[in-house]
Chain A
Amino acid sequence: MEQALQQHNTDDKTTFGFWVYLMTDLVMFAALFATFAVLRGNTFGGPGGRELFNLRFALLETFVLLVSSFTCGLASIAVQRGSKNQTIFWFVFTLTLGLTFLALELTEFSHLIADGNSWTRNAFLSSFFALVGTHGLHIAVGLLWMVVAMFQIWFKGLTSFIVSKLTRLILFWHFLDLVWIFIFTIVYLYAYV
């Protein structure tokens, strides 16, 4: 009993530490947001956000990520229930949606670059690629983490060690959706104001 309680406290501390990391990540994103907000008008004679961004496409990306955040929540319920198969099922779902999101984002990037609007063109596009690209990189890392986690669940089952790790993976994934809300608003919607 005492040992179990101690284990529980250690897990709580680890998760709290991870939460602190997420908050510092938030500060890093804030720096990128501030850079974007300052430089969004500096297009050096090139096209601005209104000419470059497709609102419907951004809305689609937003929905894909939002649904993946939701299915990730369903995975966390399956973890609490201790159901290995359900957990894997919902993580596969989340992974697929995450990959879809990443594919959509890379499509958008490649279209921009193909039209000569890469990060080298002006300060606005540099800050755009820095901000959205950093978020995309986080998504890619999250997907990799998810794949590793699924192998661990598959081979070792839902042990307390793995459950504790999954808690943090789920936090990370929800956090990425949280950041995307502001990218959708400040980068895409704001371009059309």
Chain B
Amino acid sequence: MKSYLTGFILSIVLTVAAYFAVAEQLFVGQMLVVAIIGLALAQFVVQLLFFLHLGKGTDSRWNLVVLLSAISIVLILVIGSLWIMHHLNYNMTLPAPLDSHYLINQ
């Protein structure tokens, strides 16, 4: 009961903090991105510990191993995609007169 309540309160605090950081524009540009991703990761850890009880139970070590390997695949997938597609967009940019802004408008 205590574990769920702690997790619940922490999750609410982190969600509200992320919301206000964006709604009130507490940071600018890259800093804001870092802040909200950081808050999301913090909430991820909070919920893993207090809701999913990772680290408790008999076989929890294997649960952790599978989680960590999944996370490493997730990171390769997400960072890799962004990296590759960013460079593709950059290299595919056409000479100025052509209407190319759809390709690069990110």
Contact = CB atoms under 8 A, between A and B. Distances in A.
B18 A189 contact: yes
B29 interface: yes
A16 B63 contact: yes
Contact of B70 (A24, A43, A184): A24
A27 B77 contact: yes
Interface string B1-42: 100100110011001001100110000010011001101100
Chain A interface main SS type: helix
Given A37-B82, A55-B19, A70-B4, A23 B66 contact: yes
B52 interface: yes
Contacts of B11: 66
Contacts, number: 115
A26 B69 CA distance: 11
B70 A27 contact: yes
Contacts of B66: 19-20, 23
Contacts of A184: 15, 18, 40
Interface stretch (A94-102, A109-117, A173-181): A173-181
A167 to B, nearest CB: 10
Interface of B: 1, 4, 7-8, 11-12, 15, 18-19, 22-23, 29, 32-33, 36-37, 39-40, 43-44, 47-48, 51-52, 57-59, 62-63, 66-67, 69-71, 73-74, 77-78, 80-82, 85, 102, 105-106
Which 9 A-B pairs give the minimum distances between C-beta atoms?
Answer: A41-B106, A23-B70, A34-B81, A30-B74, A73-B4, A185-B40, A38-B85, A70-B8, A174-B51
